[in-house]
Chains A and B, each alone.
Chain A
């Protein structure tokens, strides 16, 4: 391997400067470039979904519906949900960080099926275009859950275009999962046994299983709704003998596991961040690895907790309640192990670590309130209130999104070859943490006091908490704009990144920043377990270390 290539001069040939033409991006099969294309598309969707959230919080600042009509409000929360879930959260970490990192972490030149990988981006984008069409041509108002018979018979908004968008994007998700599974099985470098894999890889493997096993059922459900809506056949419509609750079963059979599609990859990110910035091997490595699989499997048997009040049998409710509590166990195993990793670690409060610590607190709150909701009697009280809204935002935004941002900062030097400004990074991580809590903690209280979700008019006594929430949302929004600005700024003005700025242990850090097109000059041979922080590596940092770890 060529020695010491890093200096202030133009970096050596890498995947970014290999070619500059637009075709070299749109027709690329390089997993790193595809990851970047996802990053760009998804950031657009994130800010679009965020714009709907802004409108929602503005409307809710006052108890009267003085900004929008109720029909418009229905569209706002529907499109916020559809875009954030299907076009941001589900693909976010796997499609951006997973795509970029999986082959690097495995010591491979690319994913097993590079062209299929490119196809997933096109499917994602085409699905996005259908959904955008629905947005600009008047929107859709069914809620992101598309409950029948409203969605199939009564809604007079753009259900078909939206459903088609979600359906197509689903294939993108399935094929990404398929690619990751095959790559993890067949493309590991010599010596990289299953229990030497980074936990990021384990998490993505478990996620991919859910993508393959769950997403097709969502496709079935959406297909049946579409057919019923287009041709007026009776599948879910009770007038024609159909059963609307059956749709809910199919929908949640996917959409509960989909929660784990969103949160498992972020757990993988957190394992990497915590071990790097505590400079310790992750405590209970195999427990964390196995708990990912346990979550993936158990997650398929809890969907009924969304239907405690939908007329499902009470015995089914009891079983689903019990199983839902069981699925909290592997999540708790992870949290305890991360905490144990922090214990007596030499902790370094870099930006990614602040996000990781934020994740720990927020995910724990989100997880524990999930237990409230899994409890039958409590759920009857808080079902369809802001308590639920706060709960899943603690998981999705406090958990998945914090980890996504933490991971993005952590691997930004590897991805772009540039350092981001650390001070601004820390400031905005703290702003996001505070803004998030101010936005969503009041919603727990609102829900517990009985404010239902999905209404834009509410009794006056709820206004104080709603104003707090809206104020928090504006802080949160600002918090997201700062990284957006300085990350873009860093592309041109950031310090050039050394190959391993964090002195982390993964294989990806043995490549130059940014890596060459085929990642490794020679296939690396792995001889140690993951997170191998020896005494020497664990020692406090002395200047910037640009030493390249000898591979082979």
Chain B
């Protein structure tokens, strides 16, 4: 049994076993996330197939510019997250903190832009439920599109908020000197999570903002 840095938990024989177990666990977690979003994407696919015109009309009222800016911001945050993982691999505590802070800033910017978009939708009477003004549309059932828009982007935003929370925790751990080279997996696994959340957006952006726009 080898335990450099005292990082091996009692249930594991050595660091390799611990790292592999953690990695498999993280992937299994992401798989269940895929299924969770997959259910919502399936609902989206069914209704898009049923009401193609309503979905096209609904997507015309989304702000492609803000959505595009957010896409760029989020891809940038994937880069900073990857750099944090890279710093962790080499045991650079300062690098970890710097890049995680950078990721938080970009993630915060994304959420800020999202909040602006949501408030526009509120003013335009596009919030599903009692406040929805369906008279402004030529087709029926645009409300279904907006219901899904808010559910999908809302769940995505919730995952980002959770990610920001995890980063704050990781920064605290790093500053306390807990994230050593032997515990770099904390950062690696967070990186996997953050990339997953980004990829969800990479699907959401074209599905909600672009598809059928020029139809």
- A residues with CB within 8 A of B: 103, 108-114, 174, 178-179, 181-183, 185-187, 212-217, 219-221, 223-224, 227-228, 231-235, 240-243, 246, 250, 253, 518, 523
Verify A241–B36 contact, CB threshold 8 A: no
A219 to B35 Cα, complex, angstroms: 10
A109, A113, A185, A216: which contacts B36 (Cβ < 8 A)?
A216
- 5 example contacts (A-B, Cβ-Cβ < 8 A) are as follows A111-B11, A212-B31, A223-B155, A231-B129, A243-B46
Structural contact, B35 and A217, CB atoms closer than 8 A: yes
Neighbouring A residues of B33 by C-beta, 8 Å: 216
Contacts A174-B32, A217-B36, A233-B128 known; 8 new A-B pairs at CB < 8 A: A108-B11, A182-B25, A186-B21, A220-B36, A224-B43, A227-B151, A234-B144, A250-B39
A183 to chain B, nearest CB (A): 8
User: What residues of A have a CB within 8 angstroms of the CB of B20 in the complex?
Assistant: 186
Residue B51 lies at the interface, judged by CB distance under 8 Å to chain A: yes
Which of chain B's residues have a CB closer than 8 A to the CB of A110?
Answer: 10-11
Q: List the A side residues contacting B54 at CB < 8 Å.
A: 241
Chain B neighbourhood of A214, CB < 8 A = 35
Say whether B29 faces chain A, with CB atoms less than 8 Å apart. Answer: yes
Q: Is the interface of A mostly helix, strand, loop or mixed?
A: helix
Q: Is the CB of A182 within 8 A of B32?
A: no
- The answer to whether B11 and A523 have CB atoms under 8 Å apart is no
Closest to B28 in A: A178
B32 touching A234 by the CB < 8 A rule? no
Question: How far apart are B152's CB and chain A's nearest CB, in angstroms?
Answer: 11
Over the window 22-50 of chain B, the binary record of Cβ atoms lying under 8 Å from chain A Cβ atoms (1 yes, 0 no) is 00110011011101101110110011001
The size bracket of the interface on B is 35 or more
CB distance from A255 to the nearest CB of B (A): 13
- Determine the main DSSP class of B at the interface with A: helix
A180's nearest neighbour on chain B, judged by CB, is B28
Instruction: State the 3 A-B residue pairs at the shortest beta-carbon distance, nearest first.
Output: A220-B39, A241-B141, A233-B128
| In the assembled complex, B148 has its CB within 8 A of some CB on chain A | yes
The verdict on B13 contacting chain A, using a C-beta distance below 8 Å, is yes
Give CA–CA (A174, B38) in the complex, Å: 16
Q: Which B105-157 residues sit within 8 Å CB-CB of chain A?
A: 128-130, 140-141, 143-144, 146-148, 150-151, 155
A214 and B144 alpha carbons, distance in the complex (Å) = 25
Which residues on A sit within 8 Å (CB–CB) of B150? 233
Pairwise interchain contact A241-B129, C-beta atoms closer than 8 A:
no
Q: Which A residue's beta carbon lies closest to that of B140?
A: A241
Instruction: Give the docked Cα–Cα distance between A39 and B21 (Å).
Output: 27
Residue in A closest to B154 when the chains form the complex, CB atoms: A227
Chain B neighbourhood of A174, CB < 8 A: 32
Using known A-B contacts A111-B11, A213-B35, determine if residue A182 contacts B28 with beta carbons closer than 8 Å: yes
Residue of B nearest to A236 (CB): B43
Q: What per-residue 1/0 map shows which CB atoms of B50-67 lie under 8 Å from chain A?
A: 110010000000000000
Which residues in B have their C-beta under 8 angstroms from that of A224? 40, 43, 151
Known contacts A114-B11, A241-B141; A186 and B24 CB within 8 A of each other: yes
- In the complex, which residue of chain B has the Cβ closest to the Cβ of A110? B11
Contact check, A241 vs B143: say whether CB atoms are below 8 A apart. Answer: yes
B143 touches A181 (CB 8 A): no
Chain A residues within 8 Å of B46, by CB: 243, 246
Tell me the complex Cα distance, A186–B16, Å: 10
Report how far A220 CA is from B39 CA in the complex, Å.
6
A186 touches B17 (CB 8 A): yes
A168 to chain B, nearest CB (A): 14
A113: chain B residues at CB < 8 Å are 21, 25
- Please report which residues of chain B, range 1-23, place their CB below 8 angstroms from some CB of chain A when the two chains form the complex: 9-13, 17, 20-21
A212 neighbours in B (Cβ, 8 Å): 28, 31-32, 35
CB neighbours of A178 from chain B (8 A): 25, 28-29, 32
Distance A109 CA – B14 CA, assembled complex (angstroms): 13
* A187 lies within 8 A of B21 (CB): yes
Please tell me which one of the listed residues A187, A217, A234, A518 contacts residue B39 in the complex, with CB atoms under 8 A apart.
A217
Contact B10 A518 (CB under 8 A): yes
Of chain B, the residue at the smallest CB distance from A231 is: B129
Query: Which of B10, B25, B130, B147 lies in contact with A109, CB distance below 8 A?
Result: B10
Q: A174-B32, A220-B36 are in contact. Are A246 and B43 (CB under 8 A)?
A: yes
| Chain B positions within 8 Å of A213 at CB level | 31-32, 35
Evaluate contact between A182 and B24: CB separation under 8 angstroms.
yes
Query: In angstroms, how far is the closest chain B Cβ from the Cβ of A236?
Result: 9
A351 to chain B, nearest CB (A): 33
Report chain A residues within 8 Å CB of B147: 227-228, 233-235, 240
- Closest residue of chain B to A518 (Cβ to Cβ) is B10
Pick from A219, A241, A243 the residue with the most CB of B within 10 Å: A241
A232 and B129 form a contact (CB under 8 A)? yes
Query: Once the chains bind, are B21 and A182 in contact (CB under 8 Å)?
Result: yes
| Closest chain B residue to A218, Cβ basis | B39
Q: How far is the CA of A113 from the CA of B147 in the complex (A)?
A: 37
Interface centre among A186, A213, A232 (most CB of B within 10 A): A186
B39 touches A231 (CB 8 A): no
A213 to B46 Cα, complex, angstroms: 20
Q: Are B13 and A523 in contact (CB under 8 A)?
A: yes
Query: B17 → chain A, closest Cβ, in Å?
Result: 6
Q: Which residues of B are found within 8 Å of A112, using beta-carbon distances? A: 11-12, 21, 25
Q: Which of B13, B128, B148 has the most CB of A within 10 A?
A: B128
| Nearest chain B residue, comparing its CB with the CB of A246 | B46
State the Cβ distance, B31 to closest chain A Cβ, in Å. Answer: 6
Contacts of A518 in B (CB 8 A): 10
Complex: A294 Cα to B60 Cα, angstroms: 46
Q: A231 to B128, Cβ gap below 8 A?
A: yes
- Given A215-B32, A241-B144, A221-B39 contact (CB < 8 Å): yes
